[in-house]
Amino acid sequence: MNKQREHYRIAIDGPAASGKSTVSRQVAQQLKFVYVDSGALYRGMTWKAVREGVDVKDAAAVIDLMDRSTWDFLVEDLILKFTIDGVDPTDHLRSEPVRERVADIAVIQEVRAFMVARLQETAAFGDIVMEGRDIGSVVFPDALFKYYLDADPEERARRRHKELLATEGRGDVKEVLTSLTRRDQIDRTRKTAPLQIPLGARVINTTGLAIDQVVQRIVDEVNAHRNSSA
């Protein structure tokens, strides 16, 4: 009888606008793996707090709200989705109130413990590509494939600015750089699971690289492994 193979887990970490979302989505699509955006969970909690009028700097109130809410996860078209108390927050996750507060939510240790546990449970959905800040270091330290994507801050601000223009029709590149640098600073210096290069991760600097090149490299590495262990 065939021994059932272990599911693949691809961890893709990096700072905001390093290209990791686009790369992770495309890698997942090409390999037909489930795509998991771990930041969406932190954004979801932030959305919930804003909606309920809870101050994100009041950790006890945030934890109380988290404990009182029910999260459900499902996979749709190979993308992990979730609801909080039956409501799908997807459309609100990139809004300004959420964007400006999410780094404060992500420093709360109990929130991190809750999200890490939920993210680890998604392994049950099969082969996955998960993007975030602590995936290769905390969520799946044993992942066979770990990548750390980075790019110069100015390049990242330009990319984020372009996205904002496309989604909101406005944005100031200097403001974007300031907000991005502030968020990086919080993410890198927080006590629990700071943004860092996970042990054993392959570092890819995406400044000046086409997304396709990065995607292809990762897909090729995974396929080479699949073929060699088939």
Instruction: Examine residue 98 and tell whether it contacts ligand DC (CB under 6 A).
Output: no
Instruction: Examine residue 42 and tell whether it contacts ligand DC (CB under 6 A).
Output: yes
Options 38, 122, 137, 206; binder of ligand DC; rule CB under 6 A: 38
Measured in degrees and rounded to the nearest 5, phi and psi for residue 6 equal -70, 150
Instruction: Examine residue 48 and tell whether it contacts ligand DC (CB under 6 A).
Output: no
Where does this chain touch ligand DC (CB under 6 A) — which range of 26-34, 51-59, 129-137, 208-216?
129-137
What amino acid is encoded at 135 in this protein? Answer: I
Where does this chain touch ligand DC (CB under 6 A) — which range of 2-10, 53-61, 131-139, 210-218?
131-139
CB of 38 to ligand DC, least distance (A): 4
- Half-sphere exposure (CA, 13 Å, Cβ side) for 94? 10
The three-state secondary structure class of 82 is strand
Check residue 190 and report its DSSP letter. -
CB of 3 to ligand DC, least distance (A): 32
Instruction: Examine residue 39 and tell whether it contacts ligand DC (CB under 6 A).
Output: yes
Instruction: Examine residue 44 and tell whether it contacts ligand DC (CB under 6 A).
Output: no
Q: ∠ CA 33-22-189 to the nearest 5 degrees?
A: 105
CA 36 to chain centroid, in Å, comes to 7
